Structure 1
């Protein structure tokens, strides 16, 4: 029994020594291939970023090229080890392999293909403020499987690419400007009219540098009128490049300043609503 075990171990050792040179060559080729893949993807990234105005697409293509080159290096290493049949099966039996792999890794494949579509369709760019379902934040990166978003309170959310592609996506900053509005209730007093209050509001908004006053001028709509009060909806356009500062903070500031202007003109503003 001991002799049989010894013979088996010796046979395995001899096979290992026979395969060892090929194994070392395969490992060296794999290491060189991965190094070359990293270098080429870096060079490709620099060229794409210089020639493309869209860093999102450049980063995504760089990731794909790096993984493709790494896969080629892995297949070459398998071929050196003598697994020609395995390489041929991987390359030749594409139909069956694709079915099996696609079934086993359906979500991964779906998110990858969704990422390819998003990279070329480009519904958003880096730092755009977008909303997917209830998630709102800045786009940080588009990866092979997920889209990375950063919320206004600093949280990083990895959203599956398929979800971004399938769900309605709202881009708040793509066009560079965005209309916002707020509602205020104004007590007119004895001699005041809705037109008087509206003129005061518009006159003030036209003096605010952050509010657009050319083709997209601010305006006021009368939404509800009671015996002594009216509800006025104020609309204005602001710069949405920095959504939080250009829209949200501007809106908060204008609500308070418009109220002060109306109070200074003799009106009372009992209620404000976003």
Structure 2
């Protein structure tokens, strides 16, 4: 009995000694392959960023190249270990599909494909201000599985690419300008007409450098007229590259300054709303 156990241990030891050199070679090749994958993807990234005007697509393609090169290094290591049959099945179309579904799971594969569509369709660029459902923030990065968005209060939120692709997406900064509006209620005097506060508002807005003129000049609509008051909605265009300053803060400032102009002209403004 002891002799049989000793022979079994000896057989396992001989197999271990036979596998060790291959294992060491495979580990060395895998380490070299991963190192080269990092260096080559970094070189690829620098060239892409120099030649491409879209850093979002460049970053996404860089991530894909790093994963592809790392996968090649893994397949080479498996081949050295003698798993040529496994490598051959993975390289086949059915094998690759089974590998993606079995190893990465369905949601990961779905998010990866959604990320590829987003990278090539480019509904947004880095630093664009977007709204997805109730979330509004700046696009920070598009990764293989997630889209990273930084909200205005500094939170970094990772959204699954499949959700970003499926949900309605509003891009506030793509065209570089955006129309905003606000509503104010103006009390008219005995002889005043809605045209008078309207002229005061438009004349003031023409003096604000941040407000666009020409084809996108501001205008005022009369939305409601009561016995002594009128509701005027003021529309104006501003730069949206910096959404917080060019849209939100500009709107807040104009609401206050327009009210001051009307009060200075003798009108009362009992209500003001965005």
Question: TM-score higher than 0.5 here?
Answer: yes
2:133, 2:168 within 8 Å by CA — same for their partners in 1?
yes
CA distance in 2, matches of 1:99, 1:88: 13
Q: How many residues align?
A: 273
2:97 equivalent in structure 1: 98
Uncovered stretches (5+) of structure 2, i.e. residues with no partner: none
Uncovered stretches (5+) of structure 1, i.e. residues with no partner: none
CA distance in 1, matches of 2:2, 2:131: 70
CA distance in 1, matches of 2:140, 2:196: 46
Show the 5 A alignment for 1:253-264. 253-264=253-264
1:130 equivalent in structure 2: 130
Secondary structure of residue in 1 paired with 2:208: coil
Show the 5 A alignment for 1:103-182. 105-182=105-182
2:12 equivalent in structure 1: 12
Cα deviations across residues 77-107 of structure 1 (Å, max 9, x unaligned)? 1111111111112113x32652574377111
Shift in alpha-carbon separation, 1:96–1:23, aligned structure 2, 3 A: closer
Q: CA RMSD in A?
A: 1.3
2:200 equivalent in structure 1: 200
CA distance in 1, matches of 2:10, 2:85: 27
CA distance in 2, matches of 1:7, 1:261: 100
Secondary structure of residue in 2 paired with 1:215: helix
Q: In the TM superposition, what is the alpha-carbon distance from 1:56 to its structure 2 partner?
A: 0.3
Q: In the TM superposition, what is the alpha-carbon distance from 1:225 to its structure 2 partner?
A: 0.1
Superposition TM-score, scaled by structure 1 size: 0.97
CA distance in 1, matches of 2:267, 2:85: 86
Q: In the TM superposition, what is the alpha-carbon distance from 1:4 to its structure 2 partner?
A: 3.2
Superposition TM-score, scaled by structure 2 size: 0.97
2:139, 2:150 within 8 Å by CA — same for their partners in 1?
yes
Secondary structure of residue in 1 paired with 2:153: coil
Shift in alpha-carbon separation, 1:23–1:96, aligned structure 2, 3 A: closer
2:90, 2:99 within 8 Å by CA — same for their partners in 1?
no
